[in-house]
Amino acid sequence: MHIGDIRLANRLFAAPMAGVTDRPFRQLCKRLGAGYAVSEMVTSRRELWASLKTSRRANHDGEAAPIAVQIAGTDAAMMAEAAAYNIDRGAQIIDINMGCPAKKVCNRWAGSALMQDEPLALAIIDAVVAACAPHNVPVTLKMRTGWCAAERNALRIALAAEAAGVAMVAVHGRTREQGYTGQAEYDTVAAVKAALRIPVVANGDIDSPEKARDVLAATGADAIMIGRAAQGRPWIFREIGHFLATGEHLAAPEVTHVKHWLLEHLHDHYGLYGGDDAGTGVRSARKHIGWAVRALPGGEAFRARMNLLQSCEAQVRAVTEWFDALADTHHLLPAPMPTSVAANDALNDGRCDNARSEKLA
């Protein structure tokens, strides 16, 4: 599978998730089987580029290629400038965000709201493609099926995007109006795939090897993109890869391996966000630890205790001890207990809402 001239290791993608898919998490997903991972969105507002949040998002130190940066905004010239800025900082692929349903991105309606204004959406695509072309950097587009049930215009926008020179399109099988409610549908993704020559990626509610197989079959998509199911379970990529290749399920990972991956992740996380007591690093690590433990026996109680810890050292010690105790009784990671959608959503509070992730910065 290729994006432009860039060859990818496989067709399993980590979805961009603001506040989640930072560099440490992308690196972990890539190590555990993702062939591709897109950055959290970076604003096109120049005055915010020097902010701590944006400079962290534009930090690709040590990241495995290809480096893909998602940009968000509502002004074609500013989006073109943002593309050039990120290419200067190492981006090898530029992704345009037309998928995020947050009310405000960059202080104005952006993300999937752009799907409601097709001329503006296409002006942005044209401007970004023109800015990237001299650098031979491919442009990709992430979008939803449409604005609302009555206006599923993904196919029209995708065809126009392909004609404008976009190299790949990813479609989340929900409308903007749906937010994250209901179920993703894949008929629109299949229609987009059938009409385009460039690669098309299916996204939405893929949370198991079987679902991955079924979505690939139902859509004919070239790749699948996984978001929420990778939270706390980044090895889902290799589980799916193994299942697609062999038809067999990979055994659950060893508890000691999961502990090692989480500690490694925490180490990288503190490296990016800082290791100060009660600082951004320790606070923003809580959700990753929460996702990792919450569906495991005793995980919810541990999460509540862990959330009170104020230092990275205490967090690391607590995680180590908790997983060591789990390893005393379980060699392999126990099957996750069902967690309610509401409980998982609580950890995703704000989703790609810039306002909340700004608070973490």
Ligand X SMILES: Cc1cc2nc3c(=O)[nH]c(=O)nc-3n(C[C@H](O)[C@H](O)[C@H](O)COP(=O)(O)O)c2cc1C
CB of 212 to ligand X, least distance (A): 10
Q: Which is nearer to ligand X, 111 or 281 (CB)?
A: 111
Toward ligand X, which CB reaches closer, 53 or 228? 228
Examine residue 17 and tell whether it contacts ligand X (CB under 6 A): yes
Number of amino acids touching ligand X (CB under 6 A): 25
Q: Is 172 in the site for ligand X (CB under 6 A)?
A: yes
DSSP per-residue codes, 250-284? PPPPBHHHHHHHHHHHHHHHHHHH---TTSHHHHH
Q: In terms of CB distance, is 120 or 360 closer to ligand X?
A: 360
**In terms of Cα–Cα distance, which of 268, 260, 281 is closest to 61?**
268
- In this structure, are residues 274 and 307 in contact, taking their beta carbons and an 8 Å threshold? no
Which of 16, 24, 73, 241 is close enough to bind ligand X by CB under 6 A? 16
Q: Give the DSSP H or E segment for 2.
A: strand 2-3
- Given the rule CB under 6 A, which of 26-34, 152-160, 190-198, 345-353 is the region that contacts ligand X? 345-353
Q: Which is nearer to ligand X, 99 or 275 (CB)?
A: 99
Which residue from 256, 330, 348, 361 is in contact with ligand X, where contact means CB under 6 A?
348
Residues 205-244 that bind ligand X (CB under 6 A): 205-206, 226-229
Q: How many CB atoms lie within 10 A of CB 238?
A: 18
Pick from 267, 291, 270, 288: which is nearest to 279 by CA? 270
- Say whether 100 is catalytic: yes
Q: Which two tokens stand for residue 60?
A: 């690709």
Rounded alpha-carbon distances, angstroms, from residue 344 to 84, 232, 251, 327: 36, 11, 24, 24
With CB under 6 A as the contact rule, the residue among 40, 75, 81, 222 that binds ligand X is 40
Side-chain-side CA neighbours of 106 within 13 Å: the count stands at 27
Least Å from the CB of residue 100 to ligand X:
4
**C-alpha dihedral, 116 to 11 to 168 to 5, nearest 10°:** 160
Residue 157 near ligand X by CB under 6 A:
no
**Minimum Å distance from CB 149 to ligand X?**
17
Distance CA 170, CA 181 (A): 19
- The least distance separating ligand X from the CB of residue 353, rounded to whole angstroms, comes to 8
Nearer of residues 36 and 323 to ligand X, judged by Cβ: 36
Considering only residues 65 to 124 of the shown chain, the ones binding ligand X according to CB under 6 A are: 70, 97, 99-100
The least CB distance from residue 349 to ligand X, in Å, is 8
- AA letter at 10: N
The single residue of 29, 100, 106, 352 carrying the catalytic annotation is 100
**Does residue 178 belong to the site contacting ligand X (CB under 6 A)?**
no
Binding map of ligand X across residues 193-212, x = CB under 6 A, - = no contact: ----------xxxx------
- Counting Cα atoms < 13 Å in the Cβ hemisphere of 128 gives 35
Strand pairing report for 12-14 and 223-226:
parallel
- Does residue 352 touch ligand X according to CB under 6 A? yes
CA contacts within 13 A on the Cβ side of 262: 30
Is residue 131 a contact partner of residue 104, using CB atoms and an 8 Å limit? Answer: no
Select 44 or 326, whichever has its Cβ closest to ligand X.
Answer: 44
Residue nearest ligand X, Cβ-based: 227
| Among 142, 152, 193, 233, interactor with ligand X by CB under 6 A | 142
Q: Which stretch binds ligand X (CB under 6 A): 16-24, 237-245, 286-294, 326-334?
A: 16-24
Q: Which residues of 150-186 are buried (b: 16+ CB within 10 A; e: fewer)?
A: eebbbbbbbebbbebbbbbbbbbbbbbbbebeeebbb
User: Helices (H) and strands (E) in the chain — how many of each?
Assistant: 14, 10
- Which residues make up the interface to ligand X (CB under 6 A)? 15-20, 40-41, 70, 97, 99-100, 142, 172, 203-206, 226-229, 348, 351-352
Give me the active site residues, please.
100
